[in-house]
Amino acid sequence: MPMSAPISVFDFSAPLLDGANVSLGKFRGEVLLIVNTASQCGFTPQLGGLEALYRGYQKRGFRVLAFPCNQFAGQEPGTAAEIEQFCHLNYAVTFPVFAKIEVNGPGAHPLYRFLKARKPGLLGLLTRGRIQWNFTKFLVDRQGQVRARYGPAAKPAGLGPAIERLLQEG
């Protein structure tokens, strides 16, 4: 019997840095910001802004989910332990950081295939939704639907109004 196509981000799972597999269904009913991250990128300081968003909104049902990726200029070469240590020591990250994944190409994680299909970005069909760089952000509503896509230069603090709107939608 064929599997049905995923209808929300809650249909996916991925391992955390420690290897524990997590169903994104665990976050059902919460607003999510899903971000591909890297430790050695010019945008890496955004980890601090992402943590500020997380701390500011988490009690209202908001989560940041980070997915390290080494597909852009080798800017995430570390092991899981090194990534975890870097995030905690440099940015006091408390939001979930998943195991390193690919976001483009044949090895792209199924979650990222889904995200890109739902919000292909500015160049959309020309790039088949391709993620252009680290720190591309997807905002997901409480029903697991992708509501917005933001490029790497979008500062986390600037996403507050959009997050607020989704939190108020209930």
pLDDT in tens, 111-129: 999 999 998 776 555 456 7
* pLDDT, one tens digit for every residue, the chain (170 residues): 445 666 899 999 999 999 999 999 999 999 999 999 999 999 999 999 999 999 999 999 999 999 999 999 999 999 999 999 999 999 999 999 999 999 999 999 999 999 999 987 765 554 567 899 999 999 999 999 999 999 999 999 999 999 999 999 96
Over the stretch 67-92, which tens digit does the pLDDT of each residue have?
999 999 999 999 999 999 999 999 99
In the chain, how many domains are there? 1
Q: Which two tokens stand for residue 39?
A: 């430790």
- Distance, CA of 103 to CA of 106 (rounded, Å): 9
Which neighbouring-strand residues pair with 115? none
Pairing status of strand 31-37 against strand 62-68: parallel
Q: How many CA atoms lie within 13 A of 14 on its CB side?
A: 25
Amino acid at site 132 = Q
In a domain, 2, yes or no: no
Which CATH number belongs to the domain containing residue 41 in this structure? Answer: 3.40.30.10
User: Largest Cα–Cα distance in the chain?
Assistant: 48
In a domain, 4, yes or no: no
Note whether 38 and 69 are within 8 A (CB): yes
In a domain, 65, yes or no: yes
CB count, 10 Å around CB of 113?
16
Q: Can 87 be counted among the known catalytic residues?
A: no
- From the candidates 24, 31, 35, 41, give the one annotated as an active-site residue: 41
In a domain, 3, yes or no: no
CB count, 10 Å around CB of 97?
23
The boundaries of the domain holding residue 122 are 9-169
In a domain, 1, yes or no: no
Q: Is the pTM of this model over 0.75?
A: yes
Which residues 6+ apart lie within 8 Å of 34 measured at CB? 9, 65, 67, 111, 115, 137, 138, 140
